[in-house]
Amino acid sequence: MKRTIPKNALYAQSGGVSAVINASACGVIETARQARGRIGKVYAGRHGIVGALTEDLIDTGLESPETIRALRHTPGGAFGSARYKLSSIEKNRAQYERLIEVFRAHDIGYFFYNGGNDSMDTAHKVSEIGSQMGYPIVCIGIPKTVDNDLAHTDCCPGFGSAAKYVAVSTREAALDVASMARTSTKVFVLEVMGRHAGWLAAAAGLAAHRRGDAPHIILLPEIPFERERYLAKVQESVERHGHCVVVVSEGVRDTEGRFLAEAGSKDSFGHTQLGGVGPVIAQMTQTALGHKFHWAVADYLQRAGRHIASRVDVEQAYAVGKAAVQFALAGKNAVMPTIVRKSSSPYRWTIGEAPLAAVANTERKLPRHFITEDGFGITPACRRYLAPLIEGEDYPPYERGVPHYARLAGRPVRRRLRTPFTL
């Protein structure tokens, strides 16, 4: 009886990383290790798809079970990620052919691509081109984005932890400014991520448990910014509470659609690089109203803040990684595991699936009924949706006062192709 040699797998991280993307990696690798005999080696692209294209692969089989387990509590992208979007097949077929060439050279039959909507598009195309080239490859997307803007899934792994970071930070900074307001700072502005969708800014609303609690104003990309209405709301809050806490999404635009903070530069996906709306808003407030202000820009701290990760988020990140491998073994292709909510209170969820073609390049914004009528806050419906996603803590182990995070050996797989590839 002839025994089939199992195909190898390639796992790659893509786009902005998160506090729990490595938990998905852990789910993929641990599940694949349990399926020995059906899946061969698990390789990882060093810096995601860039490693795949340049044949720079890491053999995860050379990492100890303890190191792989530690990925579950390690933020960032342990294998390196990339902001590198493949062109359309029409424009640059060579890229896709190169990918298939690398897959063929390393006997890769499974491609697990862990990223946002751009990445789901890429995974979908790779699946199609493989068939066309006579090298069928199973492509499974694994959802990841702190922006929570993927369609067809109730939420995105990575979001819950960043959301928890934002809610906790808002609550803490609010206690600070409340202490100082009598003689000093009256307005505090926290800038959070969210280029097009206000999910993270909305999550700041979870800091409030009672009427009057901070944040007093949330500025969302979904609501065009009107200076006078905003300033009136700040003044009202200062008069009523003695201070005002503002949480602003980096993606806020004015009524003519211009970002309040244009950095001028664009990233490789052609998106404008944002950052700096926090100080713009704070300065505007002081100029108009005269209140002393402080501002913070959380930037990477919010999406790397594994020390304050949401337990629910960690569990879901692991679960989608695990499900990706199970889907592949079940013969599915060109799909992405999703989070399906069964109920909000008590919170119950399960894993579902969506075709990559449906997820690719779509974007889910905050629905209008999640935003209060005045545009400055979140509704009870939004709170019911968001609340379970930040539930529970999942503390990493500590060493000398700081979290002990995984350090990979990251040993390379021997190259088999003679042809170099230029990005």
- Contacts of its own copies in 276-295 (CB under 8 A): 276, 278-280, 282-283, 292, 294-295
Q: Tell me how far apart the alpha carbons of residues 137 and 107 are, in angstroms, rounded to a whole number.
A: 10
Give me the least distance between CB of 6 and its own copies, in Å please.
29
Q: Which of 27, 40, 80, 377 binds its own copies (CB under 8 A)?
A: 80
Q: What share of the chain is helix, strand, coil (3-state, %, to 5)?
A: 40, 20, 40
Q: Tell me how far apart the alpha carbons of residues 355 and 270 are, in angstroms, rounded to a whole number.
A: 26
Residue 168 touching its own copies (CB under 8 A): yes
Considering CB under 8 A, how many residues would be counted as binding its own copies? Answer: 82
Q: Tell me how far apart the alpha carbons of residues 171 and 163 are, in angstroms, rounded to a whole number.
A: 12
Residue 307 touching its own copies (CB under 8 A): yes
Give me the least distance between CB of 311 and its own copies, in Å please.
9
Q: Tell me how far apart the alpha carbons of residues 295 and 284 are, in angstroms, rounded to a whole number.
A: 12
Residue 370 touching its own copies (CB under 8 A): no
Report 237-276 residues binding its own copies (CB under 8 A): 264-265, 267-268, 273-276
Per-residue binder mask for its own copies (CB under 8 A), 32-61, x = binder: --------------xx--x-----------
Q: Which of 258, 398, 409, 411 binds its own copies (CB under 8 A)?
A: 398
- Quick check: bond before 215 cis, omega within 30? yes
Q: Are 226 and 234 in contact (CB under 8 A)?
A: no
Residue 176 touching its own copies (CB under 8 A): yes
Give me the least distance between CB of 70 and its own copies, in Å please.
12
Q: Are 133 and 97 in contact (CB under 8 A)?
A: yes
Report 180-239 residues binding its own copies (CB under 8 A): 180-184, 188, 190, 206-207, 209
Residue 373: count other Cβ atoms within 10 Å of its Cβ. Answer: 8
- Quick check: bond before 380 cis, omega within 30? no
Q: Tell me how far apart the alpha carbons of residues 315 and 34 are, in angstroms, rounded to a whole number.
A: 19
Give me the least distance between CB of 180 and its own copies, in Å please.
6
Per-residue binder mask for its own copies (CB under 8 A), 11-30, x = binder: --x--xx-x-----------
Residue 171 touching its own copies (CB under 8 A): yes
φ and ψ at residue 188, rounded to 5 degrees: -120, 130
Tokens of 222: 């979904």
Q: Which of 401, 414, 419, 420 binds its own copies (CB under 8 A)?
A: 401
Q: Are 305 and 297 in contact (CB under 8 A)?
A: no
Q: Tell me how far apart the alpha carbons of residues 22 and 68 are, in angstroms, rounded to a whole number.
A: 9
Give me the least distance between CB of 255 and its own copies, in Å please.
20
Give me the least distance between CB of 212 and its own copies, in Å please.
11
Instruction: State the DSSP code for 354.
Output: E
Per-residue binder mask for its own copies (CB under 8 A), 106-145, x = binder: ----------------------------------------
Give me the residue label for tokens 């635009």: 253
- Reply yes or no on whether 147 is catalytic: yes
Helices (H), 62-209: 65-70, 93-105, 117-132, 159-180, 199-203
Per-residue binder mask for its own copies (CB under 8 A), 325-364, x = binder: ----------------------------------------
For the annotated catalytic residues, the residue numbers are 147
